[in-house]
Amino acid sequence: MRPGGRVPVDGLVTSGQSFIDQAAITGESMPVEKVPGARVYAGTVNQSGVLEIQTETVGRETAFGKIIEAVENAERSRAPVQRTADRLAGYLVYFALACALLTLIFTHNARSTISVVIVAGACGIAAGTPLAILGAIGRAARYGAIVKGGLYMETLSKVDTVVLDKTGTLTLGNPEIVSIDPVQGVERERLLLVAASAERYSEHPLARAILKTANDASLSLVDPEGFSYTPGKGISCRVEAEETVVGTRAFLLECGVEVSAPTTDDDSSTEISVAQGRIHLGSLRIADVLRPEAVEAVRALKDMSIRTVLLTGDAVSIGLAVGHQLEVDEVEAELLPQQKLDRVRTLRGAGKTVVMVGDGINDAPALMEANVGIAMGSGTEVARESANVLLLGNDLLKVVEVIKIARWCNRIIMFNFAGTLVVDAVGVGLAAFGFLNPVLAALIHVSSELIFILNSARLLSRSSKESRLATLGDKMTLPPAERAAV
């Protein structure tokens, strides 16, 4: 990859060093330094150095390709407001023709009749609405949130409840083991080895923490057999031919293991219990850090009169601690995936318009059930497929921003609706009574429609505030490697 060229694929840098302008994908206004191991995106521009890139995805599969696909799909999956707009525009044409006919019958004045026909316009609605929606989708995409259809953009403007998952969504999903507590007679290394071997193929953030510690201690892991993952509970498998269970206390009890009482009542770390051959080997405590922007994001949602609900599969004490720290309106913990889905369904049943933000396999059903599901960029493939909005990166403020864009888009569309109706009604009235000549009528028609279209087009413009926010947002997310997968 030479300087000045456009990166053709998504991939990892294998050698070289350079700065890349990736504003087209992530909205960052400053070029980002890329060194081996960093991720580069198709459509971004290499500024200075030479890079060797290992291709990961090409064409439609790249982040850029997905944005294009999202915009194309958005054009196909039309928002209901667009159908209303088309119908309204149709009525306006009939309205103008009927008024013209009446004018002709009552005044016998051809000039007035022609003026009536000319003055009435519907483009502010017919063209202004799709333009506003596409503009909003484009704007959100530039900001790092891919909205998979106009319908979701419209629904987002009406959202009154945001449901948040904890692990990986509100927390960095980069947890670390803070203590290893084997029961008496078991070695720490043994406990860690069994846990890490069982977690070897797990995608869960907690599993990554265990594997990292095991790696650091250079333990040689064994391959688990008969691996089965119960989302929200844990893993059961065979390690060294022995039945092994790694997960919540409740899960171990369910599997017939007698678990000894917890050693601490610390509510800032998650406990994972390990058992082999139905014998409790001990527990690992894993702590995760809240995303730096999480407090601000929850506060911003509250300022927008949106109710926030935290639903987690983790223990009640941790759920409450996190909920308290973020000041969310409601916390529910120890939920299985099905229960998360049920909570979302109940909220919808109560007439709420619900956004669910999640990252895990355990969140996928709730993401589908919510009016709009939003997946974190680092989320599992299932979550990202189930969601209607995909964040590029993990910045929670993007959730706030995309709702703001949706509300703005809705205001613009409503303004255009009302404006067109007023201009048409007043214009037709004036024309019918002979106050307008055809030239003036044409002027009113064209200039009013121009105003409405320009009003919609405001969504397309790039404000200085937006690029500043985008840069700020990116600083707050993780280093480029974390902003991985799209």
Q: Is 233 exposed, middle or buried (0-12, 13-18, 19+ CB in 10 A)?
A: buried
26 binds, among ligand ADP, Mg ion, none (CB under 5 to 8 A by kind): none
Q: Which of residues 99-158 bind Mg ion (CB under 5 A)?
A: none
Min dist. Cβ of residue 256 to Mg ion (A): 27
Nearer to ligand ADP, 115 or 312 (CB): 312
Q: Which does 202 bind (CB under 5 to 8 A by kind): Mg ion, ligand ADP, none?
A: ligand ADP
Do β-strands 389-391 and 372-375 pair in parallel, antiparallel, or remain unpaired? Answer: parallel
Task: Give the nearest distance from C-beta 209 to ligand ADP in angstroms.
Answer: 10
- DSSP 8-state symbol, 38: -
Q: Does 247 bind ligand ADP (CB under 6 A)?
A: yes
What does the DSSP assignment read for 240-258? TTEEEEEE-HHHHHHTT-B
- Residue 435 is which amino acid? F
Question: 480 with 394: CB under 8 angstroms?
Answer: no
Q: How many CB atoms sit inside 10 A of residue 7's CB?
A: 22
The CB-of-336 to ligand ADP minimum distance in angstroms stands at 7
The rounded distance, in Å, linking the Cα atoms of 20 and 5 is: 10
Instruction: Name the binder of 246 from Mg ion, ligand ADP, none, CB < 5-8 A by kind.
Output: ligand ADP
In the complex, least distance from residue 398 CB atom to ligand ADP, rounded to whole angstroms: 19
Q: Rounded to whole angstroms, how far apart are CA atoms 394 and 144? A: 9
Residue 233, contacted partner among ligand ADP, Mg ion, none, CB below 5-8 A by kind? ligand ADP
Tokens of 25: 């994908």
Q: Which of 165, 314, 424, 449 binds Mg ion (CB under 5 A)?
A: 165
Q: Binds 11, which of Mg ion, ligand ADP, none (CB < 5 to 8 A, cut-off by type)?
A: none
**According to the binding rule CB under 6 A, does residue 343 interact with ligand ADP?**
no
Query: Does residue 270 interact with ligand ADP by CB under 6 A?
Result: yes
Query: In this structure, what token pair is assigned to residue 248?
Result: 């919540």
* Active centre residues (catalytic): 165
Per-residue b/e over 291-315, b at no fewer than 16 CB within 10 Å?
Answer: bebbeebbebbeeeebbbbbbbbbb
- Rounded distance between C-alpha atoms, residue 428 and residue 113, angstroms: 9
Q: Show contacts of 107-115: CB within 8 Å, 24+ apart.
A: 107/432, 107/434, 109/434, 111/434, 111/437, 111/438, 112/431, 112/432, 112/433, 112/434, 112/436, 114/438, 114/441, 115/431, 115/436, 115/437, 115/438, 115/440, 115/441
313 contributes a contact to ligand ADP by CB under 6 A: yes
Instruction: Work out whether strand 39-40 and strand 10-16 pair parallel, antiparallel, or are unpaired.
Output: antiparallel
Q: How far is the CB of 233 from ligand ADP (least distance, A)?
A: 5
Closer residue to ligand ADP, CB minimum distance, 368 or 460: 368
Task: State the nearest-atom distance from the C-beta of 334 to ligand ADP, in Å.
Answer: 8
Size of the site for ligand ADP (CB under 6 A): 23
Binding-site member from 155, 362, 388, 448 for ligand ADP (CB under 6 A): 362
Q: Which does 312 bind (CB under 5 to 8 A by kind): ligand ADP, Mg ion, none?
A: ligand ADP
Write down the least CB distance from residue 148 to ligand ADP, Å.
Answer: 22
Smaller CB distance to ligand ADP: residue 114 or 192?
192
Please identify, among the stretches 43-51, 142-150, 163-171, 187-195, the one whose residues bind Mg ion according to the rule CB under 5 A: 163-171
Choice between 128 and 168, CB closer to ligand ADP = 168
> 244 or 362: whose CB is closer to ligand ADP?
362
What are residue 115's phi and psi, to 5 degrees?
A: -60, -40
- In the complex, least distance from residue 165 CB atom to ligand ADP, rounded to whole angstroms: 5
- Which entry of ligand ADP, Mg ion, none binds 224, CB below 5 to 8 A by partner kind? none
d(CA 276, CA 183): 12
Question: Tokens 């316009």 identify what position?
Answer: 121
Region binding ligand ADP by CB under 6 A among candidate stretches 237-245, 246-254, 323-331, 364-372: 246-254
Residue 39, φ and ψ in degrees, nearest 5: -100, 135
For residue 31, give both structure tokens.
């070029």
Of 352-381, which residues contact Mg ion (CB under 5 A)? Answer: 359-360
Residue 314, interface with ligand ADP (CB under 6 A)? yes
Residues 174-233 that bind ligand ADP (CB under 6 A): 199, 202, 204, 206-207, 232-233
- State whether residue 79 is helix, strand or coil: coil
Question: Which range touches ligand ADP (CB under 6 A), out of 121-129, 163-171, 301-309, 452-460?
Answer: 163-171
Residues lying near Mg ion in the complex (CB under 5 A): 165, 167-168, 359-360
